[in-house]
Amino acid sequence: MSQPRDAQTDPSSALTRRTLLGGGAAAVGATAFGFFTPASAAARPAGRIRDPFTLGVASGDPTPGGVVLWTRLAPDPLAGGGMPARPVPVAWQVATDERFRDVVASGAEVSRPELGHSVHAEVDGLRPGREYFYRFRVGAELSPVGRTRTAPAPGAALASFAFAFTSCQSYPAGYFTAHRHLAEEDLDLVVQLGDYIYEGRPDPRDLRPHEGNGEPITLVEYRNRHAQYRGDPDLQAAHAAFPWAVVLDDHEIDNNWADEVPQDPARQSREAFLARRAAAFQAYYEHMPLRRTSLPRGIDMQLYRRLTFGDLVDLHLLDTRQYRSDQAPQSQRLDPTRTILGDQQESWLQAAVAGRTARWNVLAQQVFFSQRDFASGDALSLSNDAWDNYVADRDGLRDHLVAVGTSNPVVLTGDVHASYVCDVKADFDDPDSATVATELVGTSVTSGGDGRDQNPSDAVQLAENPHIKFINRNRGYVRNVVTASGWTADYRVVDVVTAPGAPVRTRASFVIEDGVPGAQPA
């Protein structure tokens, strides 16, 4: 994906074919900050910044003909970024070819110190369902080249849609080898289901210790943590290869936080936690290819949203952290006043999955959806951080999918550092009840370390939960190819993350047939 910095585009062809987009900012980009202006004539303030693209490039949230292009200027990434405390213009280009001979859009954004000199260029007016290449320039410095893809036209008859989902990438736990393999897949999109960073303190015994002096609390500390992760070359390769759609889970802020409640209320006051949440949200936005609609306002960040891919896939990205009731003892799991989605998100989702939708309706979210009993025999032992602790919301959503006849619902899950395949049952306590949806759970990239095929206790889970059809505890990601007739999920795993370079293999493949909830071994 990368390209030599001295590779030059033919200016005449670029100038004639360039389409200026985005109004004023783009017009400025074409003149003062254009890629082909001699360096001496370019904006003087930008000319002196050396090596600002240490965090790579990314793109995300594709629409028909549009996509967000991301970078963040950080010549000193682990020390607050190292940028001067003033706005710096950043030019960008989009081309149909990797060598930028056919530039079809260009413009400029002003990166500001208030947002960590991050850049979120929302490009529109491209062709739907097409591959593009993009890059940024500051002064004489060119960024690496990224590749992206716009979403197909609304309702377009798609032959197939290929995407992977990924979660839980603990930097200290190992190398992001899975991302290196992910970057080499043939995909339209990557979906990240949270635990993009971990907030843990540095431990010198770790393979790749976290930066900093403790858990991040302030905005600068969260920036440095994100920058450490984003400096990883395998992660950069995966971002540069495809557009991503991201949602966060708990570790982007604090383990198992719930709305305004931290993990350890005895040690973090409500006020301190809310300030921490606002800082963590802002750093997350600064480092992700998100649209301005997700720009945090104080402690709030709009993350639940829908992306549509022709007539084939409606991707509903959910936020199960920001609006949830605090985790409660298992005895309170049936309390109908408790929520994991919050009323507004629940209403939005109920409307979004009713009526006319794409053939496949994906619920991309964080925590385990299906019932999961860890205890053998009559005893019931459930996770209180998962949908099992919010039964009214879980069963209500499940029953709604049935009631409105949502076409092919598929729940995607991260969080548990293991791969699962589950039938979503009309009644989880009755194995003979109907299967009404499918849940695919993806393993971690590294979290938990090298992993293994299964734990001894997995036999108990499989016996106690007949709707769970597969458990595997290697590291990796899930590759999916979706067509009108079926969905194939390949569980791609690596055997080792504590040493670099492990090969990838497909541990198992499952197929969901159109109109038949539940995945079957391929």
Interface residues toward Fe ion, by CB under 5 A? 168, 195, 447
Q: Compare residues 107 and 414 and give the one whose CB is closer to Fe ion.
A: 414
Measured from the CB of residue 167, what is the shortest distance to Fe ion in angstroms? Answer: 7
* Burial degree of 208 (CB within 10 A; 0-12, 13-18, 19+): middle
Q: Calculate the dihedral angle through the C-alpha atoms of 322, 325, 326, 332, rounding to the nearest 10 degrees.
A: -150
- Residue 520's SS3 state is strand
Measured from the CB of residue 25, what is the shortest distance to Fe ion in angstroms? Answer: 38
Q: Compare residues 165 and 487 and give the one whose CB is closer to Fe ion.
A: 165
Q: Compare residues 264 and 430 and give the one whose CB is closer to Fe ion.
A: 264
Q: Compare residues 68 and 248 and give the one whose CB is closer to Fe ion.
A: 248
Measured from the CB of residue 149, what is the shortest distance to Fe ion in angstroms? Answer: 28
Measured from the CB of residue 415, what is the shortest distance to Fe ion in angstroms? Answer: 6
Q: Compare residues 118 and 447 and give the one whose CB is closer to Fe ion.
A: 447
- Residue 303's SS3 state is coil
8 Å CB contact between 483 and 159: yes
Q: Compare residues 194 and 517 and give the one whose CB is closer to Fe ion.
A: 194
Measured from the CB of residue 471, what is the shortest distance to Fe ion in angstroms? Answer: 17
Q: Compare residues 71 and 443 and give the one whose CB is closer to Fe ion.
A: 443
Please state, in angstroms and rounded to a whole number, the distance separating the CA atoms of residues 329 and 119. Answer: 43
Measured from the CB of residue 198, what is the shortest distance to Fe ion in angstroms? Answer: 7
Measured from the CB of residue 265, what is the shortest distance to Fe ion in angstroms? Answer: 21
Token match 């949230």: residue? 61
Please state, in angstroms and rounded to a whole number, the distance separating the CA atoms of residues 112 and 85. Answer: 8
Q: Compare residues 59 and 167 and give the one whose CB is closer to Fe ion.
A: 167
Please state, in angstroms and rounded to a whole number, the distance separating the CA atoms of residues 364 and 367. Answer: 10
Measured from the CB of residue 221, what is the shortest distance to Fe ion in angstroms? Answer: 20
8 Å CB contact between 247 and 192: yes
Please state, in angstroms and rounded to a whole number, the distance separating the CA atoms of residues 223 and 500. Answer: 26
Please state, in angstroms and rounded to a whole number, the distance separating the CA atoms of residues 8 and 395. Answer: 57
Q: Compare residues 141 and 254 and give the one whose CB is closer to Fe ion.
A: 254
- Residue 518's SS3 state is coil
Rounded to the nearest 5°, which phi and psi values hold at 78?
-95, 5
Which of these, 353, 359, 341, lies nearest to 316 by C-alpha position?
353
Measured from the CB of residue 185, what is the shortest distance to Fe ion in angstroms? Answer: 22
3-state helix, strand, coil in the chain (%, to 5): 20, 30, 50
Beta strands 146-149; 409-413: pairing state: unpaired
